[in-house]
Structure 1
């Protein structure tokens, strides 16, 4: 058998390290060539690392949350001795095998090769969940299981209930199903590797519960879970901390009558949606921002607070806050000042889908000069948006609602929407912020102004 080391490939120009966010394999797993081994993240791009050989996983290069250098050991795979030497994971970060005197790959000596279980007994992560596995036996405990002695035998199934301080192994879907049914997974015997609980194990327990059943048919909840903040969520936390700690926010909330712009939008969609695509309110708001910052260029800017320099941009690059399965990200619609309504709508849709699929490029996630944030139909009456550092302004869209509005003689049903706009008070005075918000209000309430060249 040959022991092949797969290293972390070059995941982007100029990137020296990446954060390990998830393992798709565990020690002892059999993998095939091109199977995904794990996922790393650099900046806001998640990258899957594939296997270049088939074989058995014998060592992992870290745990989720660890930072790995490019070229560092990612996994070690034991493959057939007659198998050809594996191709490098990338041209800049080739794999290497431990070679003996005659150049033939040889196993590394000792039980603690890089990526194997640490000597202090800390647990390997549960693949797919990021949760720690049950602790390994200490030096004074009973003899380890066969899988721990040889690294080849499968772990024994768990046939007992776990103790209060032990966490059961199960996939997220199994955990969710157990939560919905009020079942404590520590009471369920898992028949998978290392006692991993499957849907079949859960079915068997539901059909014939052994212990802990209360009169309601639901077990009391005593579980808790510690979740490590890593990957996209950690980057979001870091950026929000910078924005909140460095920027003194001033937020202005203004009520806007969007009846006219909604009527126009409906008419344009009825006549042009089939050929040009459907319009939302965001392209109209984007055009309003372009018109407003033309009069107040200090709002279309970024502030380097360390150098004490404000960079005002002639181009209007609008960041669109987008919720993705991995967290909030901000793809950038570039040169909004040059786009028509339909071009802006198409670019917003393309970038949002690319971000949700995790395929947005690095330059599509940076360089914004002002941002829009919207919770869509889930939006509240008002929000207090956090500025996307190092920008100096952000416009928040709240939900629309038909409300009675007094016109001086009677109450009329009008479609109303609140705009919540936040500004960096170090750079933008309250008066200038109010002027900007009123300009947006006037443009949206009289949408014909959006199309008049001044």
Structure 2
């Protein structure tokens, strides 16, 4: 028997350290080749780490939430044969998971891609007979499934998983909930005192979001500007276009029109389509409009990027927005698709409220926020009429963008959206 060591992989882009998000195995587990053993996260992506060998897990090199250096020891596996660890290193004491691991120069660094998955055949070989879970065994489930179980108050160890390696999937949660409803206990009295509490570690994507939001509010000089827009004509145009071409070109939402308006308005306001490197004290104004689309997923906020929105048609932008949102929510967006935006568009749709104060997506200097569309009585030429109204609540970095420039930019957006034909006049 020998020992095979897997090192923390080099994810690329000069990244020197990553965060360990979740273990899918524990000491003593038998694993198979290609089985995913852990999730790690960079600033831009979550990466599944598969095992290149089959064997028994004998040591874990970190705990969820721990930031580990690329090349540090991630996991030790007892294998048939010699393994990849020299005899001198074999005898070295195993460092507990909470302590930094020693370097093992002979262990290779895996070449992994985001969201590598375990092979179904390999998982079946070792775990197809598994039907029960030990009390102290950590259930295998994706972060989205874990969050759903947490929100529903479900103990995952009680749920039977039917995915690869006994992984618990959404279908398993559905089956468990259906089973529970057949014998639903009496509800807790409305005014019963509660003493339960729960501690949730801030790790993974939630930690990245917290760090970025804190960094943005600490470093940038935020100011917000809100303007009311009459989108009656825009909505009429959107409905007409969908009736005529929706079946062949795809349905249009409001977002591609907003992206188009931003593209046109930014021609006259290049100082807003910019990124500010406050350490180098350099502002870079971009000709290309790479629009970040704030997207809410199961695990938190993500911002996939519509690249070169200025070169795309209305339908091409709509298609790209939909594609990126799906990729981001499913965890399949690449690092390139999640970085490089020059301005961000954020919308909560029907939950958009009346006014919001969006936080900048540094190093950008502007973010355009969309609030809820409502029908409201409006006075036009002395007459009270019903119009579809919507607010734009946008934020800017006052270190780079002057208040007058921000106001004029939003007024330009207002003009384009209230007279939608001007969106397409060159």
**Bucket of the pairwise TM-score, normalised by the shorter protein:** 0.7 to 0.9
Q: 2:304 pairs with 300, 320, 331, which one?
A: 331
CA contact (8 A) 1:386 1:394 kept: yes
Number of residue-to-residue matches in the alignment: 369
1:99 to 87, 91, 107: 87
Question: Does the CA contact (< 8 Å) of 2:259 and 2:291 recur in 1?
Answer: yes
Secondary structure of the equivalent of 2:38?
Answer: strand
Q: 348, 352, 356: which one pairs with 2:321?
A: 348
Determine the C-alpha separation between the residues in 1 that align with 2:15 and 2:284: 26
Partner of 1:419: 392
1:297–1:215 distance in 2 versus 1, CA, 3 Å: closer
Choose which of 346, 352, 371 in structure 2 pairs with 1:373. Answer: 346
How large is the RMSD of aligned CA atoms in angstroms?
3.4
* Cα separation, 2, equivalents of 1:409 and 1:215: 56
| 2:86 matches 1:113 | no
Q: After TM superposition, give the deviation of residue 280 of structure 1 in Å.
A: 0.9
**Cross-structure match for 1:261:** 234
- Secondary structure at the aligned position of 2:412 is classed as helix
The residue number in structure 1 matching 2:58 is 58
CA distance, structure 1, for counterparts of residue 188 and residue 199 of structure 2? 30
State whether residues 395 and 419 of structure 1, in contact with CA within 8 Å, keep that contact through their aligned partners in structure 2. Answer: yes
Would the aligned equivalents of 1:4 and 1:98 in 2 still touch at CA under 8 Å? no
Name the residue aligned to 2:332. 359
Q: Which residue of 1 aligns with 2:281?
A: 308
* Cα distance between partner residues in 1 of 2:191 and 2:58: 40
Give the C-alpha shift of residue 216 in structure 1: 5.5
- Unaligned runs of at least 5 residues, structure 1: 87-95, 101-105, 119-153, 159-170, 180-184, 193-197
CA contact (8 A) 2:261 2:423 kept: yes
Q: Which residue of 1 aligns with 2:123?
A: none
Q: Tell me the secondary structure at the aligned position of residue 232 of structure 1.
A: helix
Q: State how far apart, in whole Å, the 1-side matches of 2:399 and 2:31 are.
A: 55
Greater C-alpha radius of gyration:
1
Question: Aligned-pair distance for 1:447?
Answer: 0.2
Match of 1:10 in 2: 10
TM-score for both structures, normalised by structure 1: 0.73
Q: 1:27–1:57: 8 Å Cα contact kept in structure 2?
A: yes
2:359 to 386, 395, 400: 386
Q: State whether residues 402 and 413 of structure 1, in contact with CA within 8 Å, keep that contact through their aligned partners in structure 2.
A: yes
The whole-number CA distance in structure 2 between the counterparts of 1:281 and 1:63 is 43
Supply the distance in 1 between the matched residues of 2:50 and 2:402 (Cα, whole angstroms): 52
Query: 1:65 and 1:416 mapped to 2: Cα distance?
Result: 44
Give the secondary structure class of the aligned counterpart of 1:270. Answer: helix
Match of 2:19 in 1: 19
Residue 272 of structure 2 contacts residue 401 of structure 2 at CA under 8 Å; is this kept in 1?
A: yes
Partner of 1:49: 49
State how 1:222-261 maps to structure 2 within 5 Å.
Answer: 222-261=195-234
CA distance in 1, matches of 2:218, 2:209: 14
Query: Which structure has the higher relative contact order (CA within 8 Å, separation 6+)?
Result: 2
Equivalent position SS for 1:399: coil
Q: 1:108 Cα shift?
A: 3.7
1:265-306 Cα distance to aligned partner (Å, 9 max, x none)? 111111111111111111111111111111111111112222
Measure the CA separation in 2 of the matches of 1:397 and 1:84.
61
Give TM-score, length-normalised by structure 2. Answer: 0.77
Identify unmatched segments of 5+ residues in structure 2.
100-131, 137-145, 161-171
State the Cα distance separating 1:115 from its structure 2 match.
4.6
1:291 to 247, 261, 264: 264
SS at match of 2:21: strand
User: Deviation of residue 37 (structure 1)?
Assistant: 0.4
